[in-house]
Structure 1
Amino acid sequence: MRLGFRLLGVGLASVTLAGSAWALPGLAEVRAAHQPSELTFVDRHGEPLQSLRVDARSRRLPWVALDDISPALRVSVVLSEDRRFLEHGGVDWSGLARSAWANLRTLGHAGKVQGASTLTMQLAGLIDGEHARPAGGRSLLGKVGQIAAARQIDARWRKRDILEAYLNLVPLRGELVGVPAAARILLGKHPSGLDAQEAALLAALLRAPNAGREAVTRRACELLTLQQLPCAGLEGLAGRALATGAGARAGQPADLAWAPHYARAAWQAADVARRATPGPLRTPLDAGLQRLAVQLLRQQLAELNARHVEDGAVLVLDNASGEVRAWVGSSGAALSDAAQVDAVQARRQPGSTLKPFVYALAFERRLITPASLLDDTPTRLMAGSGLYTPQNYDRRFHGWVSARTALASSLNVPAVQLATWLTPDALFERLNAHGLALTHSGGHHGPALALGSAEVTLLALTNAYRSLANGGRFSPVRLWPAEPAGPAVTAWKPAASPAAAFLVGDILADNAARSLTFGLDSPLVTRGWAAVKTGTSKDLRDNWCIGWTDRYTVGVWVGNASGAPMQQVSGSSGAAPVWRALVQALHEGQPARPPTPPAGVVRQITVAGDAPASGGVAEYFLAGTELARLRRGAHARVAGSTALQGIASPRDGAIYALDPDIPPAVQRIVFEGEAGSWWLDGRRLGQGARVAWPPWPGRHRLELRLAGGRRQQVGFEVRGAQARAPAPGSPPTAPAAPNASPPPPARR
């Protein structure tokens, strides 16, 4: 016993010396240094939207003030760990002496002492790792340092501050740190709502955080008994809270899971200063719009579920600042098997959504005007070793149409012709100037680049449309709020001329011009002004709807993350309804206004052909390109077709790619030439100068038998996956879900 008190006296002297030369931080500094493992993202108005785990080593929640912690928990913790907490000065000397004497034999064998640590002494180890308990136990000198720190804390901190810091920092079961995390993960409650049994259960974990259920239950019951409270039901509570996997199953509250994909993307892009900022992180999102976008997307995909559609994404950008107002990366786990995949950043084929950039470049180079007449007739272009024959969505050709109608109605032949005249390399450079970051060269894609053969992300494509909304000026998307003077200091780069961007926007907002394909009453019609374009990729794997108003640019993608094809879902039936609903909500009570023509754009009455002057229509032109009377071929180059004696179409070696956008029952390849008898693969098809045939995948031999015994044969190939064999005695029908090889089929 004398040796024990001698050692204690040495320790007291050391404590005095150490306490005079060393200082611990105060409560304010400890609270400021506390970094939750899960950050809360709030919208631009401060409304919570998303919680994100950013520290995989431990799980900590935001700091909770003592007044917001259940009184029952405070009582149980003090009873469990330090019953004389309110009486001692940071160190329980009587308890320390008893502990020192009891550990003399341990000191003799292993040099370690244990026990008698007050809440204050434990806190010293929590706020300074130098005083934390080592895995093998604490040495005598280590105990002395812990005592010195505890005395210093008690001299400078209030008791309630000590208890508050301890409850927020103490490790509990597994990865859980602090009672706020333990209360939410194990019990599903905020620490303010804990009852006496729940409080006793958490306090019991302090003594042995990873003990078995029976030991924890027994210890919790002892604490309740000390308070003269019943233990009935405690065993069931402990079983539920401590069950294997309970912590892993406990996720974030449903009301904080509206923008998981945005939160991950924004956190990865955050600068060092923002990562170090304590407390909720303010984002440029709009909580109401974000929730609406999620709900609209899920509702639309639920309705399309029978057509094999389960994934989608939505992005809304502020035109002026580039800030994200809504970011929905997935339809969610209830609808999708790939809910963790962020479809906003996934690369997919954009289909016809690239056509506006083709026309903008053609306008800018003065190859055409919106009034120019383009020839929408069968066209054959060399593509690799075969012939590329683009076709339209309705499988019809419309002859001479204006460039306005061709773009608005998404006709494919004129777009491919323009891409040929511009050259694929020039188009490739222009698309990348709009931020699409295409990876393959223009020569790799050829003219099919105009129909979306490359792959882009919804993030890049929507921002590219935003550049059109801003008069051809490009700037990056802002994942975090802009500075107060954000729009004024945005780093704009020219991507297209303001005049060309205006012409494209005016055409894409023209409901009459797009009626040729979409009709007058389609999901693209809005109450106010909006420029919009749809697109569908090959095999119906993706469809898109992208457009802008005077304030916002909205992009929607619908498809399958797995790449599986949809069934009869195009951009107008899949993505467009979500797009329109969002545009209507964004401009509720304040319809969007059309833009003012920029310098260099003039408006003039144009008369077609020999029509009387009174029958003209007003059209926009780049200054110097306007015409009062327009005839075929004016301001347009026409790709001629090659006429052959005998078989005019198809050419020998032609390759046809089946179009996934067109219902199989109406897909046809038209054989044209001199009047005669047409035979395919040894079977007679029909008589005349023109015969339509429902295509079937494979290599085929076509023969035309003419008068006088003349015969001509050509070979061609139809590419696509065979869906089913034809019924006996019936002609083959086109497959329902082809898998066309390049060059790709037509898009809308």
Structure 2
Amino acid sequence: MAAAACAGLSACGGSVPDLAQIQRQHPSSSAWLLDRHGAVMQEVRVDFSRRQGAWQRLNTISPTLQQAVVNFEDKRFADHGGVDGRALVHALWQNLKGENRRGASTLTMQLAGFLQPELASGAHKGVLGKLRQMIAAWQIESALNKPQILEAYLNLAPFRGEARGVAAASAMLFGKGASALTRDEALLLAALLPAPQAPVDRVAARACRYAGEAADSDACERLRRLARLALPGQSTWAMAEAAPHLAAQLQLAAGARIRTTLDLSLQRRATAILESRLSQLVSEDVEDGAALVLDNASGEVLAYVGSRRSARQHQVDGVQALRQAGSTLKPFLYSLAIEQQILTAASWLDDSPVAVTTPSGQYVPQNYDRQFKGRVSVRTALAGSLNVPAVRTLLLTGVEPFHQRLLRLGLPLVQDADFYGYALALGAPEVSLWSLANAYRTLANGGRFSPPTLLPGQSELLGQVIDPAAAFIVADILADRAARSVTFGLESPLATPFWSAVKTGTSKDMRDNWCVGFSRRYTVGVWVGNFDGRPMRGVSGVTGAAPVWLELMQTLHTQPEAAPEPPSQVRRQNGEWFVEGTAPSSGRTVKVAAAEARISYPGEGAILALDPDMPPAMQRVFLAATGGTAAMWMLDGKLLGHADQPLAWSPVAGKHELKLLARSSGQVLDSVQFQVRGRNAVSSRAREHPGRAADQSRS
């Protein structure tokens, strides 16, 4: 009969696994992400066929639970060798009398069923099935000692619902670890073992008997209240959730514990800072944001916040999502021009209207404040994020070389250079915060690039992408508070008490805003906007993302930090940095030839469209000329005013002729014909008196 019982069972002919093997064969249904110091950041359920927590050593499990399980499941556990003969005889006698109120399975026999589910299945009930279970129990007793058997039992036993093991049961029913159970909680868990799905009051009554206080109505009522609260309700399993979006980036196996490069305290701080700022921007129709912190030297990710927890679309990963870059690409354009020795930081660029011919028609870039500054240095143009000088710079470098530079920096441009055209200078492509922050880290590292890493020890060697001298000069410009003041003022969220270089960006219609910057040790990137793409109300990079960036940078830097040392290829002259060989000769006077008077905007044959969504009285066309210091505007035969500065004209639908006249002689210096399409922006009377439709205020 023993041979029949052993047929097909490894427990009869093979070796019994030791405790370590049992633990490996029954991993948790979750995986864990650890921070760089080993602290648990994120628990992720990866096996949905069961609910099992981390393996619990016996000395971490409530002693009350251990004692109750032994006393009421197998009171002679310490004495038998796997099978309790007295209990078996008693159970047989009850069966013969038809009273079948008590089973004879010891903890070891039940454990055999946990290890080999076929032993506990309905197909193995009866005498033969019980014999097989007994043989398996004897073998377990020969391989494991009593504490090991009890430990394995408590980690594998089914408790309630899908909870398997004491860790899962403690977490799901009481929201705590197995070592923190109260006496009543431990008794309630022990009372579940004979019939895990029993009605609540029956479980409570059994727990009351286990307590040995059946006569104490207060104690039993307390257990009933606890059972009614814990057993029917939703799971109280409080999983660590500090980095949910990072967890989605990694392939996780059940029971795995993955150490990452993140710092849990910084992760929590970054999350709190982002949540706080976004809550302040709710009235401006802002809901979402993301933040990323990188270590410059290693590329290790120190904080990764994909969204605010309370957002409607909190599952979206804002670190990886593609959004329009806005002005954040300008530093890489100017670094290319400086590297090619087309420009220096002291070169002059014209910030005035310019019409660029593209395959889809004329493109006329505007500055953020819709004002033009005239002649500005490269330093001022970049620090102040002026759009027109950036487009003029792209005309000098060429679109294709800039497109290639962005690709080498790891930015995910999905279209070719011709698709973006000159809008590439103003951030038309979509990029991720992940790629953009790392591109700025490349600037911080003197132009050397390597991808970021989430796992320790996986940093890659840096490869030179930007010339070190150009990277240094651009970083110095981005750190220049005075040069930045032309647009942002001297005091703004971009100003730190330590050396830092920073750039903001705002996409079309204020759908995205960015703030990305670095110190010598860290790079911080922040995106603020709405995942559904709706525009914000009046929120730019300096008011939306920059305050988050500033607070994160201040968190990272508790001590002053000096500016980086210039590379050997850089020289300083007259208060400015130059790539070696590009500085003007000492004492040399650079003369700028007087420009010939010409209309720079609108261009000949231009077709301007009125915006149907903007009130007519708010619409303006800026008439601009070069060399127009002694010239006058004439539109459709009527004088408008001086041409020494761009003039804001309220557009009128129809065809128009614009002339530039010499102020002294009235000679026509230049003329263009253009057309305005759309509904009339001003009355017909204004058409008769176009001078009245011109706004003489300086832009």
Letter in 1 for 2:294: L
User: Conserved in 2, the CA contact under 8 Å of 1:348 and 1:542?
Assistant: yes
In 1: Cα distance, 2:595 partner to 2:76 partner: 95
Shift of 1:559: 1.0
1:519 matched to 2:476: no
Q: Which residue of 2 aligns with 1:741?
A: none
The answer as to whether partners of 1:315 and 1:344 remain within 8 angstroms in 2 is yes
1:535 pairs with 2:510: no
> SS where residue 643 of structure 1 aligns?
strand
Check the 8 A contact 1:350/1:536 in 2, yes or no: yes
Moved more, 566-575 or 491-500: 491-500
1:643 aligns with 2:599: yes
Instruction: For 1:2-401, list aligned pairs within 5 A.
Output: 10=2, 21-96=13-88, 116-129=104-117, 131-134=118-121, 136-138=123-125, 142-224=129-211, 230-243=219-232, 246-247=234-235, 250-252=236-238, 256-265=240-249, 267-268=250-251, 280-333=257-310, 336-401=311-376
CA contact (8 A) 2:204 2:223 kept: yes
Larger mean CA deviation between 494-503 and 623-632 belongs to 623-632
One-letter amino acid of the counterpart of residue 579, structure 2: L
> How far apart, CA to CA, are the structure 1 residues paired with 2:686 and 2:85?
100
The unaligned stretches of length 5 or more in structure 1 are: 1-6, 107-113, 605-616, 720-724, 732-748
Quote how far apart the aligned CAs of 1:508 are: 0.9
Distance of aligned partners of 1:358 and 1:705 in 2 relative to their CA distance in 1, 3 Å threshold:
closer
TM-score by length of 1: 0.79
Name the amino acid aligned to 2:578: F
**CA separation of 1:712 and 1:627: change in aligned 2, threshold 3 A:** closer
Q: 1:89 to 1:521 in 2, by over 3 A?
A: same
Instruction: Say yes or no: does 1:715 pair with 2:644.
Output: no
Q: 1:630-669, aligned counterparts within 5 Å?
A: 631=590, 643=599, 649=602, 651-655=604-608, 668-669=620-621
CA separation of 1:686 and 1:185: change in aligned 2, threshold 3 A: farther
3-state SS of 1:208 partner = coil
Structure 2 partner of 1:621: 578
Moved more, 75-84 or 372-381: 75-84
Please, which of 469, 477, 484 is the counterpart of residue 507 of structure 1? 477
Decide whether aligned partners of structure 1 residues 667 and 471 sit closer, same or farther in structure 2, where only a CA change above 3 A counts: farther
Question: In 2, Cα distance between the equivalents of 1:436 and 1:366?
Answer: 24
Residues 603 and 672 of structure 2 are in contact (CA less than 8 Å); yes or no, is this contact kept in structure 1?
Answer: no
Aligned-residue sequence identity (percent) comes to: 47
Other-structure match for 1:742: none
**1:325 partner amino acid:** L
Q: Secondary structure at the match of 2:483?
A: coil
CA contact (8 A) 1:376 1:399 kept: yes
Which one of the candidate residues 393, 399, 414 is aligned to 1:424? Answer: 399
Deviation per residue, 1:691-721 (Å, 9 max, x gap): 62467xxx943545999xx9997334589xx
Matching residue within 543, 548, 552 for 1:578: 548
What's the CA shift for 1:23?
Answer: 1.7
Q: Tell me whether 377-386 or 225-234 shows the greater mean CA deviation.
A: 225-234
Q: Give the letter aligned to residue 649 of structure 1.
A: P
- Judged with a 3 Å threshold, the aligned counterparts in structure 2 of structure 1 residues 118 and 386 are, in CA distance, closer, same or farther, namely same
Matches of 1:526 and 1:448, distance apart in 2: 31
- The residue number in structure 1 matching 2:521 is 551
Distance 1:100-1:716 versus aligned 2 partners, 3 A rule: farther
How many Å apart are 1:565 and its aligned residue?
Answer: 0.9
Listed one character per residue, the Cα deviations across residues 660-693 of structure 1 (whole Å, up to 9, x for unaligned) are 9x999976322469744669xxxx9978878624
- The correspondence for 2:456, drawn from 475, 481, 492, is 481
Contact 2:5–2:131, Cα closer than 8 Å, also in 1 = no
The correspondence for 1:670, drawn from 600, 611, 622, is 622
Contact 1:651 1:716 in 2 (8 A): no
Q: Take 2:361 and 2:284, find their aligned partners in 1: how far apart are those partners?
A: 33
Deviations 1:313-355 (CA, angstroms, capped at 9, x unpaired): 111100111101111111221xx21112111111111100000
Which residue number corresponds to residue 562 of structure 1? 532
Residue by residue, what CA displacement relative to the aligned partner does 1:485-521 show, whole Å, maximum 9, x if unpaired?
x5xxx23222212122112111111111111111111
1:599 to 553, 568, 581: 568
Q: In 2 relative to 1, CA 405–672 (structure 1 residues): closer, same or farther, beyond 3 Å?
A: closer
Cα distance change, pair 576–178 in 1 and its aligned pair in 2 (3 A): same
Shift of 1:470: 1.2
CA contact (8 A) 1:702 1:715 kept: yes
Instruction: Pick one of 365, 374, 384 that aligns with 1:409.
Output: 384
Asked if structure 2 preserves the Cα contact closer than 8 Å seen for 1:64 and 1:180, the reply is yes
Q: Which residue of 2 aligns with 1:588?
A: 558
CA separation of 1:19 and 1:282: change in aligned 2, threshold 3 A = closer
Using the TM superposition, give the Cα deviation of residue 22 of structure 1 relative to its aligned residue in structure 2, in angstroms: 2.3
- Give the corresponding residue for 1:3: none
Number of equivalent positions: 659
- Contact 2:266-2:303 within 8 A present in 1 as well: yes
User: For 1:232, what is the secondary structure of its paired residue?
Assistant: helix
Residue 471 of structure 1 contacts residue 502 of structure 1 at CA under 8 Å; is this kept in 2? yes
User: Which one-letter code corresponds to 1:547 in the other structure?
Assistant: G
Question: Aligned in 2, Cα 1:393/1:362: closer, same or farther, shift over 3 Å?
Answer: same
- Structure 2 counterpart of 1:70, which letter? S
Which whole-Å CA distance do the structure 1 matches of 2:615 and 2:500 have between them? 29
Partner SS, residue 51 of structure 1: strand
Conserved 8 A contact 2:23-2:55? yes
Alignment of 1:435-514 (within 5 A): 435-482=410-457, 490-514=460-484
Q: What secondary structure does 1:148 align onto?
A: helix
Q: Cα offset for 1:92? A: 2.0
Whole-angstrom CA distance in 2 between matches of 1:448 and 1:632: 32
AA matched with 2:571: V
SS in 1 for 2:513: strand
Q: Which letter maps to 1:482?
A: G
Q: Deviation of residue 482 (structure 1)?
A: 2.0
Query: Which one-letter code corresponds to 2:365 in the other structure?
Result: P
CA-to-aligned-CA distance 1:503-546 (integer Å, 9 cap, x gap): 21111111111111111112111112111110000110111110
Q: For 2:226 and 2:596, locate their aligned partners in 1 and report how far apart those are by CA, in whole Å.
A: 81
Change (3 A) 1:145 1:663: farther
Evaluate the alpha carbon distance shift between residue 691 and residue 234 of structure 1 in structure 2; reply closer, same or farther with a 3 A threshold.
same
Tell me, in whole angstroms, the C-alpha distance in 1 between the residues paired with 2:425 and 2:533. 21
Q: Which residue of 1 aligns with 2:628?
A: none
Check the 8 A contact 1:670/1:693 in 2, yes or no. Answer: yes
Shift in alpha-carbon separation, 1:676–1:450, aligned structure 2, 3 A: closer
Letter of the 1:116 counterpart: A
